[in-house]
Amino acid sequence: MEKDFSQLDEILEMYRGKPGILIPLLQDVQNLLGYLPKDAMRYIAQKMNIPAADIFGVATFYSMFKLKPQGKHIIRICKGTACHVSDADGIKEALIDALQLPEGEDTTQDMHFTLMEVACLGCCSLAPVIMIDDTTYGKLVPESIPPILERYAFEEKQ
């Protein structure tokens, strides 16, 4: 059974008949829904007469588009060279353990955190580094992770 995406119609009308609209259209839809569900992309394809393959191609090519719901807080772990040689893998394992992420999952069940690897955060002198939302944490060891995450849990309780 297909979901009701009629709330997208206003966005679709803003772009109807204009060339080169796919990226900004998908950005607006993602801003509204928080991510790009497959059903929504099919709805866009049907309503805008754009091949679904084109929509899926753009949505999967650009890393700014999310195909799954994201947590309230985004944790970016740097996998650049400086971080890699400074045990970024150990930091990632500590994050996975602290967040209790099942294998293959990147978002906690409570939708509080999403963990993603990034090529570089540009903080090589602080390696290894993570960024939670807009806050950078550097010179990390695996034992640093639980107290950092606890700050975000504490914010939720207030």
Is the pLDDT at 83 greater than 70, yes or no? yes
Residue ranges of domains in the chain: 6-61, 73-157
Rounded to 10 degrees, the C-alpha dihedral 134/138/140/143 comes to -40
Q: Percent of the chain having pLDDT more than 70?
A: 96
* pTM of the predicted model over 0.85: no
Q: What is the pLDDT of residues 117-127, one digit of tens each?
A: 999 999 999 99
User: Which amino acid, residue 149?
Assistant: L
Rounded to an integer, the average pLDDT of 35-50 is 95
Q: What was the pLDDT predicted at 1? A: 41
Is the pLDDT at 30 greater than 50, yes or no? yes
**Closest to 156 in 3D by CA, of 72, 77, 97:** 72
Task: Give CATH superfamily name and number for 73-157.
Answer: Glutaredoxin (3.40.30.10)
